[in-house]
Amino acid sequence: MIRQSEVMMSKRRDPERVIRQWNIVLQLMRHRHGATLPKLRDVTGVSRMTIWRDLQALRLAGLPIDETTINGERRVSIRTTELPALILSPLQIQALDLGRRLLLPLDGTPLLDAYDDILVRVGRSLRGVPEVGSEGARQAGVRRTLSEAIAAGRVVRFGFVKVRESERLKREVEPLGWRFVRGELYLLAFDRLARARRSFASTRIHEVEVLDAASGNASEAPGADLFGTAEGLTTLESERVVIEMTPVGAAHLALRPLSASQVEHWRPDGSVRLEAQVSGLQMTADWLMTWYGDARAVSPPALVAEVVSRFRRGLEVHLAAPAAEKASPGDRDVSNS
């Protein structure tokens, strides 16, 4: 016969048992390769036999607990459930393939590695990883090395090519994270020489060397938002640009400003002269192209040349169209009659 004192003792221990078993579950979830019995004993503060009883209770509750031996050490783990094979429609397969190709600029980063892992898990290799060529493979290697340095908190040294110069500058930085802005992947880092946070276009980084020194500016890290805004994206090549806008374009400038720090000089006819300090002429050229004839680059000369070159390339494409494509349907009908 069970005495009343034993029943009361059991009731007092029930909450302790639930908390202890929950802590065991948390430990097993945190350790990918399982936890050892000494580790579980340290966490729970109970005997080996009590831990075995708790594990058995968890199994009876439906938790898939496995026991394995790794390097002669017995480990307990929660068996992960593999994703079932998915049957994808042709449209879904095309969407995955397109997504993989659009993310090529991120090749070598943890995000794209995770994407490829998903493709493997769903059982589709699609058409394989898109061919990137030797230069693409080199850039992917650079990004992978930098990503590993970010994860390990290590200082790196690399060569950096300026936009209009062939000279490679040597930089020693503490890498902090990545930003993907308008099709360009930037490394955010703390420049040890300039003693300031800078950004570097990944396509212009060469010969990365991971140093033994640990990064000391982790508080500057931008977080895991790869697709965050470009705010604070300061490159070594900050440029002052001057742009003229027609009254039509100026009327919509407030909706599409070039920079938060731009200076506007308005004229009585409604046109405006815009001055701004920008990081990266390519993004400024992108902005100018959206205005067509309502915005004109004045300086620097490199920006003017870039915009002119883009318009010329577009014009050449249209002028090179076959005569049959240029003619209207009515013109073709007349010529055939």
Rounded Cα distance, 221 and 196, in Å: 13
Q: What is the per-residue pLDDT for 4?
A: 47
Q: What is the per-residue pLDDT for 8?
A: 44
Residue with tokens 């100018």: 288
Is pLDDT of 237 > 60? no
Rounded Cα distance, 37 and 26, in Å: 14
Sign of CA dihedral 104, 106, 107, 112: negative
Q: What is the per-residue pLDDT for 157?
A: 93
If pLDDT is split at 50, 70 and 90, which confidence band does 274 have? very high
Query: Which of residues 135 and 21 earns the better pLDDT score?
Result: 21
Is pLDDT of 278 > 80? no
Is pLDDT of 310 > 60? yes
Q: What mean pLDDT is predicted for residues 172-177?
A: 88
Q: What is the per-residue pLDDT for 198?
A: 82
Is pLDDT of 32 > 70? no
Span 190-214, pLDDT tens digits: 888 877 778 888 888 888 999 988 8
Is pLDDT of 2 > 50? no
If pLDDT is split at 50, 70 and 90, which confidence band does 269 have? very high
Q: What mean pLDDT is predicted for residues 43-62?
A: 85
Of residues 37, 72, 70, 34, the one with CA closest to residue 54: 37
**244 DSSP β-pair partners:** 273, 296
Are 172 and 156 spatial neighbours (Cβ–Cβ below 8 Å)? yes
If pLDDT is split at 50, 70 and 90, which confidence band does 156 have? very high
Phi, psi of 208 (to 5 degrees): -80, 130
SS3 state at 240:
strand
Q: What mean pLDDT is predicted for residues 77-87?
A: 62
Average pLDDT, the chain: 75
Rounded Cα distance, 210 and 153, in Å: 10
Query: Which of residues 132 and 251 earns the better pLDDT score?
Result: 251
Is pLDDT of 12 > 90? no
- Angle (CA) 225 229 233, round 5°: 105
Q: What mean pLDDT is predicted for residues 128-152?
A: 76
In the sheet that holds 196-201, the strands lie side by side as: 196-201, 184-191, 168-181, 154-161, 205-214
Ranges assigned E (strand) in 37-120:
65-70, 73-78
Percent of the chain residues past pLDDT 70, beyond the cut: 72
Q: What mean pLDDT is predicted for residues 64-87?
A: 71
Q: What mean pLDDT is predicted for residues 62-78?
A: 79
Domains of the chain with bracketed CATH: 4-78 (1.10.10.10), 83-131 (no CATH), 152-235 (2.30.30), 238-319 (3.30.70)
Q: What is the per-residue pLDDT for 58?
A: 85
Is pLDDT of 324 > 60? no
Q: What is the per-residue pLDDT for 193?
A: 82
Query: Does an H or E element contain 198, and which?
Result: strand 196-201
Amino acid, single-letter form, for residue 287: W
Q: What is the per-residue pLDDT for 242?
A: 95
Is pLDDT of 57 > 80? yes
Rounded Cα distance, 249 and 286, in Å: 15
Percent of the chain residues past pLDDT 90, beyond the cut: 11
Phi, psi of 315 (to 5 degrees): -65, -40
